[in-house]
């Protein structure tokens, strides 16, 4: 797993998974592993008001 990418997706509101993944990634960073975070949150609602087509 050393040279493989690992994608982690958890919900901020998940009171077990979110803190657990934050702790895990902090430990990996402490071991000099590269950790990238996406600060932009995904919004699943259509951008055009409901037609289902992104504009």
Helix then strand count (H, E) for the chain reads 1, 0
Domain boundaries, the chain: 1-35
pLDDT score of 51: 58
pLDDT score of 7: 87
Residue-wise pLDDT tens digits, 8-49:
888 888 999 999 999 999 999 999 888 888 777 777 777 665
pLDDT score of 17: 94
Contact predicate 11/17, CB 8 Å: yes
Contact predicate 18/9, CB 8 Å: no
Higher confidence at residue 28 or residue 53?
28
pLDDT score of 36: 86
The pLDDT-based confidence of 53 (bands split at 50, 70, 90) is low
| Residue 41 neighbours by CB under 8 Å, 6+ apart | 12
């Amino acid at each position: 797993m050393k040279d493989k990418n690992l994608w982690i997706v958890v919900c901020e509101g998940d009171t077990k998974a979110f803190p657990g993944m934050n702790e895990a990634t902090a430990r990996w960073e402490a071991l000099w592993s590269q950790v990238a975070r996406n600060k932009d949150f995904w919004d699943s609602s259509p951008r055009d008001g409901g037609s289902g087509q992104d504009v």
